[in-house]
Structure 1
Amino acid sequence: MNTTRLGAFVAAILVVDALAHLYWLIWPASDPRALSMAVLNMDVPFTPRILLPLIFLLTAAAAAIVAVSRGRGGWPAKAVALALGAGLLARGVVGLVWCLGFGTDTGTPFYWLNLLLYTPVCLISAGAVVLILARTRKTLVRV
């Protein structure tokens, strides 16, 4: 199993997400509420106070997963990768509930984006993180 490729795959998704947040920071949407409803299914402001920490976290998680996939970074990178995997899995499971129509209107852009993009990407990425961590589990336990 090539964990380096899996790490690059997950990191690429995180970097694309970070770049999307950077885009919204630099070029605000013409209708921020519509964007928020499509992306989050709730009205959340796309302000620097919200976006900058997200950009930082996504970038740090991308660096950590690449490091872990290459056998580097030590326990701090592994801890970040573990948190990333847990977060992606949690988002994927909640996304499955939303896909069934619970908690969201099935006629909204969010429903379709969640069904076709967000949930599958989260679940696939969570699986990739699990495989990466399983491959490095011997060094994860050793302190």
Structure 2
Amino acid sequence: MVVYGVAALALCLLIGELIGEALGIAVGVDANVGGVGFAMILLVLVTDRLRRRGLFPESSERGVMFWSSMYIPIVVAMASTQNVAEALTGGPMAIVAGLAALAAAAALVPVLARIGPPADPLPPRGEGDDARLAGSARTKEA
């Protein structure tokens, strides 16, 4: 049922928020540190394990998929509650942390690109590709 998927998402969100609050207290910040991120990682791990065991039917997955389409607006709303201006004027730590995260992510791109077997390259793009792709999209909708 769809409700079970939403319940799994809600449980993961509550646990992630608790982890984020505990991490904020541990580092001495009066804020939730990464609660939504922890929740999403937990949701991916839990749903993958349940799917592999056959305990997460497609109808439950629809509940998760509905809210996953809302993920970006929720994160934007949560980020808007953080006082970014205060963090930047309070010292260079926010900038250093952001640049460190950017550098780490950029360094991991080649590592992640090597995961899995190499795939065949895509065929060259031709003139009729746009019309063909639009036609195949229409046939999938029907």
Structure that is richer in helix per residue: 1
Instruction: Kindly indicate whether structure 1 or structure 2 has the higher relative contact order, using CA contacts under 8 Å at least 6 residues apart.
Output: 1
TM-score normalised over the length of structure 2: 0.28
TM-score, length-normalised on structure 1?
0.28
Larger Rg: 2
